[in-house]
Amino acid sequence: MRNSLVFRAIVRRELISAMRRNAEVINPLWFVLIVVTLFPIALGPEPQLLAKVAPGVFWVTAILSCLLSLERLFRDDFSDGSLEQMLMSSHSLVGIALAKVFAHWLLTGIPLLLISPLVAVLLSMEWQVYKACFLTLAIGTPVLSLIGAVGVALTVGLRKGGVLLSLLVLPLYIPILIFATSAIESAAFSLPYDGPLAIMAAILALCASLCPFAISAALRVSLN
């Protein structure tokens, strides 16, 4: 099989298995909505205050929900042995890793973008802020999946990898968070924000080209 066919086959398989257990897709979205609800209750419901903290709240919530869904990226395939089969097949593990990460993004990033208008309404975001928030999330969520996959690949062989995973991955998320918030901040003052967006796109390109290699190296270690 050619590599593109393998890529498509794996993405298809991931989507089918996720659709059969759709709670795994929906639960992170519930989580986002519930956490977003907690903030107005904790900080007070004034719209000005909420509008000021909204983009940061949304981004942090997105990162946390991504962490929640990361584990299923390799965990099930690891425990039923299909990951080992993929490793032993003649296809490049790098391509397989990229396909799995892409499927993960389709199942977590895209739904997050779809419910983002709802979050924007709940947190009384303005239109231009919401637009910037949407764009940064569209560029940023693939980065979250890519970097997170490296962490999952490193911890998949461990019995209690969950907390460790977040400790490994969260520091690496900081740059993308910084550029996202600075883009949104510029948008709030109606300034141009294509600079930070371009840097985020550059980070995405860097991660998309390097992370699959790190993921495959880490999987080889974890499967030993």
Binding site for other proteins (CB under 8 A): 150, 154-155, 157-158, 160-161, 164, 167-168, 170-172, 174-175, 178-179, 182, 203, 210, 214, 217-218, 221-222, 224
Residue with smaller CB distance to other proteins, 174 or 191: 174
Q: How far is the CB of 67 from other proteins (least distance, A)?
A: 14
Residue with smaller CB distance to other proteins, 95 or 162: 162
Q: How many CB atoms lie within 10 A of CB 13?
A: 15
Q: Which of 98, 99, 113 is nearest to 59 (CA)?
A: 113
Cα distance between residue 4 and residue 44, in whole Å: 51
Q: How far is the CB of 145 from other proteins (least distance, A)?
A: 15
Residue with smaller CB distance to other proteins, 118 or 167: 167
Helix, strand and coil percent figures for the chain, each rounded to 5: 85, 0, 15
Which H helix or E strand runs over 222?
helix 194-223
Residue with smaller CB distance to other proteins, 128 or 182: 182
Q: How far is the CB of 156 from other proteins (least distance, A)?
A: 10
The contacts of residue 214 (CB under 8 Å, 6+ apart) are 150, 153
Q: How far is the CB of 158 from other proteins (least distance, A)?
A: 5
